[in-house]
Amino acid sequence: MIGTTLGDSPQPLSILYYGSPGTAKTTSALGLARLGKVLLIDAEGGANAKALTSQNVPISQIDSWPASPRELSFEAIMGVAKQLQSSNEYTAVVVDSLTEIARRLLDVQVAKTSRTGESGTQPTMQDYGVVASQLRVVFRRFRDSGLHVAFTALQRRTEDENTGAASYGPALSASVANDVLGLVDIVLYTDVIEIGGQVFRVGGSVPLKLRTAKDRTGALPPRLVSPSGDRVLGYVNGELARESDPVQLAALAAASKVAEAIAETTDQQTE
């Protein structure tokens, strides 16, 4: 037989979280630590042990690299990716964030060309092209690591030149965004909403007119409450279902109470 039957071997999951700052992208991605050891590629240097512990993320299960974001370079990242190939220590990798890695790779590239006299201190189109190529290689190397992988990215607002209509997607160059959006299994746009005085973190898995999203598995609710990596995997593996998930049901119950209160207020005003 050539190849293997689909379903015969476990399939690692790839997720992209993107959204505005403060919408729990990193915390959600690091929820994978509830399932086993995680390597965090911490380009932003923003992973906070106290904040993670408050969300019941086991920080003892997280190894962070590099010691300082200033150590990031294409060669260093590829070295870590190569080490992962021969390591059985980790269950998942979290890359936080692709947006920041792109920025730091651009700084390295500009510094390199400035030293050689090829350009000044401002990035050229060639510099952007080099960095886009590097970032695509980084993305593919981690996606193909054989581990679960969660990427994060900031959000970018773009406007249609003809209509002026706004849309939102990951803050990446067009070529990199096309690769990432096309090749990951799940794309979630993160948000924080308040329902009846309760705050819920949510991840949208269904594309809307203004938002890019994707669920290749078809397993997730359109808006997943508390979209941590372990919960995403729970849905994909059939361990969670929207009709019985207590976290999802609690948010729906809160929304229902608010709707009832609004309806009662409207009825009283019309009497």
Q: What is the pLDDT of residue 123?
A: 86
Please choose, from the candidates 214, 22, 194, 223, the residue with its C-alpha nearest in 3D space to the C-alpha of residue 231: 223
- pLDDT reading at 226 higher than 80: yes
Span 22-56, pLDDT tens digits: 999 999 999 999 999 999 999 988 788 898 999 89
pTM above 0.85, yes or no: yes
Q: What is the pLDDT of residue 111?
A: 86
User: Which of these ranges, 2-16, 86-100, 178-192, has the smallest mean pLDDT?
Assistant: 2-16
Q: What is the pLDDT of residue 267?
A: 40
Residue 183 vs residue 209, higher pLDDT: 183
Q: What is the pLDDT of residue 160?
A: 78
Span 105-145, pLDDT tens digits: 999 998 887 755 555 578 889 999 999 999 999 999 999 99
Mean pLDDT score, 155-175: 86
How far apart CA 216 and CA 182 sit, in angstroms, is 10
How far apart CA 104 and CA 23 sit, in angstroms, is 23
